[in-house]
Every structure is written in C-alpha cells, then in structure tokens.
C-alpha cells in the first residue's frame, strides 16, 4: 500500500500588512510560494492555513496536519512578549501572530513536529515565553548587519555571514558541519530565550540564529531562509522535518 505523504500546514499572512500594499483593499491572505514548493520537493504536502479567528475551525485544521512550518514575514507585535511597540518595530500582522502562536502552543503541548524559518523562529521563541529585540542594530552594540532585504536590492540567496552550529544539535547533524554561511533578511531577533529551548546556531555577534527543543519530537527553527538558498541546503534543513512528520503520523 502506498504511504500517504505528510500534510504540512504553512500559515499565510495578511496582504495588507506587507510594505507597499495600499490600505482599503479587501483583506487577503497570501504567502511566498517558495515555502510550499520546497516542502513539496522534499516529500510533504503543503497546506495553506488561513488566518481565521474561529478557534474551533483552526483546531480542526490543526488536527488534520502532520506538521507545522512557520514561514518568514513581517515583525511580531511586541505586545505578544509583553513590551510596548516602539518606532524601531516595523509592520505587524496581529491576525497572523494570533494564529501562529496558537498553532505553536498546540504543537509544543502535543508533540507535533514544527519547523520555524526566520519570523517562525521568533514566533516559537515568543510562544515559549521568550522575547525579541525590536531592532537588532539599534539594541545590540556589537551587532553585525543582518538586514539584507530584497527591497534594498540584495538577492535572497546572498550569503551574508557565517553561523556556528551547536555540536550534536539537529541542525549540525542535518548539515554535517559546525560552521556554515547563511543568508540574512531580518532586523529583529531573539533577546531572551524561551523556556525549554536551547541554542542550535549563533551568529558572529552572538545573536541566536537557531533553536531547538531537546524535549520535543521535532522542534527546530532557523533565523535564515533555507528555502531561498541552494537546493542541497534547503533539502538538508527540511528533509529531517518531513521524515519526522511521516513517522509521527497517527
């Protein structure tokens, strides 16, 4: 009998929360296709999750998933980690915050595999009680440049800096190296690490760039964008996640 491929839920974002999108349009939910394409390429069945307010309906969606992938996007609302929003914080998407935090908390509590990419790392950290820098450059004296945004002319696959991977962490095992070069498209980052998480990768300036939970079947997140890097790198990051989703299906 042919095995069913695991269903990977990838939440969307509100179109109007993105830079350059005029207000006043009917609300729309969208997401970069790269996440769905790479999830399918490594054996998953990507599923777009709407930012629906009805908790019962969201739970029905969650129950049908074999894993959750949290993608990149706009800044998290500092209110989600108990801070006042400052001018350093960029555009926010409260509906997305609500949905992704809820999905993460369910996945953490129930042991459902979860992978975070860029903003996804920040969502997981906040869901676990951690906090963020609203702007790394302004709040960290020794910060290197992390904001190589495509809107400023940088290519999404530009290798901006190295990260050092924690020995025996899932990321180190997946990538087979202790140091790798990564792209970088963020200006926020982890300040206080969430409860039950450990550092899996760190930038030259000390900023946490990878996290995992040793107490969870599969909870891994990276601050960079593997979906926009070389195919081999993308596969090495996503393949173990998809394999655990396949093996944990009930």
Q: Is the dihedral of CA 16, 26, 227, 242 positive or negative?
A: positive
245 is catalytic: no
Mean predicted lDDT score pLDDT of the chain: 95
Q: Quickly state the pLDDT bin for 85 (edges 50, 70, 90).
A: very high
Which one of the listed residues 118, 146, 172, 212 is annotated catalytic? 118
pTM for this structure?
0.96
pLDDT at 248: 75
Within a domain: 1: no
What is the Cα 68 distance to its own chain's centre? 10
Q: What is the pLDDT of residue 57?
A: 98
Residue 221 structural domain: 7-247
Query: Does residue 42 surpass a pLDDT of 90?
Result: yes
CATH number of residue 177's parent domain: 3.40.50.880
At residue 81, the pLDDT reads 98
Average pLDDT for 182-197: 98
Is 2 inside any structural domain?
no
* Banded pLDDT at 1 (limits 50, 70, 90): very low
pLDDT band at residue 26, thresholds of 50, 70 and 90?
A: confident
Residue 22, domain member (yes or no):
yes
Task: Please give the pLDDT value at position 18.
Answer: 81
Whether the per-residue pLDDT at 19 is higher than 80: the answer is no
Q: Is 89 a catalytic residue?
A: no
Residue range 140-166, pLDDT digits in tens: 999 999 999 998 999 999 999 999 999
Tokens encoding 63: 């129950």
Question: Could you tell me the two tokens for 10?
Answer: 């990838």
146 is catalytic: no
Residues 6+ apart with CB under 8 A from 57: none
- Sequence-distant contacts of 82-88: CB under 8 A, at least 24 apart: 82/131, 83/131, 83/134, 85/134, 86/134, 88/134, 88/135, 88/138, 88/139
Whether 206 is in a domain gets the answer yes
Tokens 């069945």, residue located: 45
Confidence of residue 20 (pLDDT cuts 50, 70, 90): low
Provide the residue count of the chain: 250
Given this model, what pLDDT does residue 2 score?
Answer: 59
Indicate the number of domains in the chain: 1
Confidence (pLDDT) at 231: 86
Given 161, 186, 225, 233, the catalytic residue: 225
Q: Which of 100, 209, 212, 227 is catalytic?
A: 227
Mean per-residue pLDDT, 25-40: 92
How does DSSP classify residue 217?
S
């Amino acid at each position: 009998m042919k095995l069913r491929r695991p269903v990977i839920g990838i939440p969307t974002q509100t179109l109007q929360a993105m830079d350059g999108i005029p207000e006043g349009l009917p609300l729309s939910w969208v997401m970069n296709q790269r996440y769905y394409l790479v999830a399918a390429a490594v054996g998953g069945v990507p599923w777009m999750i709407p930012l629906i307010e009805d908790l019962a309906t969201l739970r029905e969606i969650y129950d049908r998933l074999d894993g959750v992938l949290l993608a990149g996007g706009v800044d998290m609302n500092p209110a989600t980690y108990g801070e006042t929003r400052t001018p350093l914080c960029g555009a926010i998407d409260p509906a997305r915050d609500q949905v992704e935090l809820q999905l993460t908390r369910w996945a953490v509590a129930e042991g459902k595999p979860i992978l975070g990419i860029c903003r996804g790392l920040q969502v997981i950290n906040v869901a676990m009680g951690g906090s963020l820098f609203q702007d790394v450059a302004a709040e960290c004296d020794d910060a290197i440049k992390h904001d190589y945004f495509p809107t400023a002319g940088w290519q999404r696959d530009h290798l901006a800096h190295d990260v050092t991977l924690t020995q025996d962490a899932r990321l180190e095992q997946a990538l087979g190296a202790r140091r790798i070069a990564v792209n970088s498209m963020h200006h926020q980052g982890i300040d206080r690490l969430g409860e039950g998480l450990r550092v899996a990768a760190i930038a030259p300036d000390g900023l946490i760039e990878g996290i995992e939970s040793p107490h969870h079947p599969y909870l891994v997140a990276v601050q960079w964008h593997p979906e926009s890097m070389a195919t081999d790198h993308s596969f090495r990051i996503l393949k173990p996640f998809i394999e655990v989703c396949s093996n944990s299906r009930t």
